[in-house]
Structure 1
């Protein structure tokens, strides 16, 4: 019998605090930074984003999304054999203990469970799904919880309007389970460290102090150019591995970073924009959380249905990119 991995439950979490472009523009004006709703929308397609409150960490949002995904899968927390959590904003400095372990504790899952974080920035969820798929197909685990959770508001420089208007906080999760029916049809992952400097946090810790900047840095034009190039190619690579054509994609769920990148990718794949799930307008760029957030929203509003083929793809700092083609 061939063993497959299948997405059996989805969940998401957004902090209650919603910040519109106008509200953000008003806040930035007090710092002498000029921007506007029109400026932000025209460059990114973003109208609003959510910010986590004080004391709310990636593990809190991740655990909330995870509970919903586990419930949707018809399981109990202790049915989970492994947690793979993608984040660039871990609870603890240096990323240890892992945020996945903190989520495990908050869910009350016993020590039969393995847990680890994955760092691939905005591609993190795609990387994490691919890892979970491999463990399930190898027979190592029956149910794997995959989470993307971020509190990017903590690493934004609100003196830099080119980056601070783009990002938001949130979490999304899926339960992946062993199945006799095809679920994940193909994955494709890539990285190119020669582009490490175009999207990064350039600071580092030395003797308890930060050397350099602890804020996110992005060369927007370079990221845009590279993203448009690689997203089309990696989607086609996943399709080729699955022996499928782009017209067999029911839904495209790209990383929600910039509406122009997303629309350009759909066009290159020959997909109508009506087949693309868009949440960037209301969530902003939530990095590793963006794809599972969008997936959960589309599942719960009835757009994504069982048996449909969903292409999920992301690109992020590293530089990393990847795609997952899955049958729901």
Structure 2
């Protein structure tokens, strides 16, 4: 029997698709919560946000070196994907081969905390992971924090 979802339940993109289907035009007032404050009061300076991540890649590279791990030898690299330019810049700075990353941003946009499990689920679905594969998870947050986790699949 072919597996259509990971063993833990429905694939994350199935959940996203179902949630999106419920937001029908005309019903948005019932499905969206208003936030206090001024309309369009939040403005994000993308350049400043990107600059706030400066150095996180160096810390990650240093930590990987302490673990005796060469990022180019990993079978899969999952990276938080808030935007395609961010992924491209991070990948270039970390010397990650594009083939090591499963792109999700072009299909789902910024899936926030679901980005990493989404990539893992997609890798399982596409049979890109095998027992014993080495995987790195790079979690990066807009608060300019980061974390790296190594997994042996």
Cα distance, 1:155–1:238 mapped onto 2, change above 3 Å:
farther
The residue aligned with 2:49 is 223
The residue aligned with 1:310 is 135
The yes-or-no answer on 1:248 pairing with 2:65 is no
- Displacement of 1:265: 1.9
Cα distance, 1:323–1:217 mapped onto 2, change above 3 Å:
farther
- Give the match's secondary structure for 1:253: strand
Provide the rounded CA distance (Å) in 1 between the counterparts of 2:140 and 2:48: 13
Cα distance, 1:250–1:213 mapped onto 2, change above 3 Å:
same
- Displacement of 1:252: 1.3
- Displacement of 1:304: 2.0
If you compute each CA radius of gyration, which structure gives the higher value, 1 or 2?
Answer: 1
Cα distance, 1:271–1:238 mapped onto 2, change above 3 Å:
same
Alpha carbon RMSD of aligned pairs, Å? 3.2
Cα distance, 1:318–1:296 mapped onto 2, change above 3 Å:
same
Provide the rounded CA distance (Å) in 1 between the counterparts of 2:56 and 2:7: 26
Question: Is there any run of 5+ residues in structure 1 with no aligned partner, and where?
Answer: 1-7, 18-49, 55-152, 157-202, 204-209
The residue aligned with 1:51 is 20
TM-score for both structures, normalised by structure 2? 0.71
Give the 5 Å matches for 1:283-302: 283-302=108-127
Provide the rounded CA distance (Å) in 1 between the counterparts of 2:8 and 2:129: 11
Cα distance, 1:154–1:218 mapped onto 2, change above 3 Å:
farther
The residue aligned with 1:259 is 84
The residue aligned with 1:322 is 147
Give the 5 Å matches for 1:1-328: 12-13=11-12, 14-16=15-17, 51=20, 53-54=22-23, 210-211=36-37, 217-227=43-53, 229-328=54-153
Contact 2:123 2:129 in 1 (8 A): yes
Aligned residue pairs total 138
Provide the rounded CA distance (Å) in 1 between the counterparts of 2:42 and 2:20: 16
Cα distance, 1:318–1:260 mapped onto 2, change above 3 Å:
closer
Provide the rounded CA distance (Å) in 2 between the counterparts of 1:317 and 1:233: 17
Determine which structure has the larger strand proportion and give its number.
Answer: 1
**CA deviation digits over 1:274-313, x for unaligned, max 9?**
1111111000001111111111111121112221111111
Cα distance, 1:155–1:313 mapped onto 2, change above 3 Å:
farther
Cα distance, 1:266–1:223 mapped onto 2, change above 3 Å:
same
TM-score for both structures, normalised by structure 1? 0.36
Provide the rounded CA distance (Å) in 2 between the counterparts of 1:154 and 1:327: 40
- Give the match's secondary structure for 2:16: coil
**CA deviation digits over 1:207-236, x for unaligned, max 9?**
xxx355697652211122233x24422431
